[in-house]
Amino acid sequence: MNNSRLAFVQAIRGPIVLIALGVLFIVDHAGGPPFRQTWPVLIILYGLLKLLERAVIRQPAPIPGSPPERLP
């Protein structure tokens, strides 16, 4: 399960950054803040996605063959 979550986060990282890049160019073209002022958003977004990836990696994987934990 942990590997599938990690693969999902890694798979969506590129498309999300490309979509954000497109949105920033559209905002620039529509008369909003110029791209030279908004490009740091891409670095922040990439960093957040890397943090999410690390959070997924740090989740402990269940031991194979062990019963699932029950909530009280």
Q: Does residue 63 have a pLDDT over 90?
A: no
> CA 60 → CA 3, 18, 39, 63, 64, distances in Å?
11, 31, 35, 9, 12
Q: What is the pLDDT of residues 7-55, one digit of tens each?
A: 888 888 889 999 999 999 999 999 999 999 999 999 999 999 999 888 8
pLDDT at 4: 82
| Rounded Cα gap, residues 2 and 42, in angstroms | 26
The secondary structure of 43-55, three-state, reads: HHHHHHHHHHHHH
Structure tokens at 6: 């990690």
pLDDT at 57: 80
3/25: higher pLDDT: 25
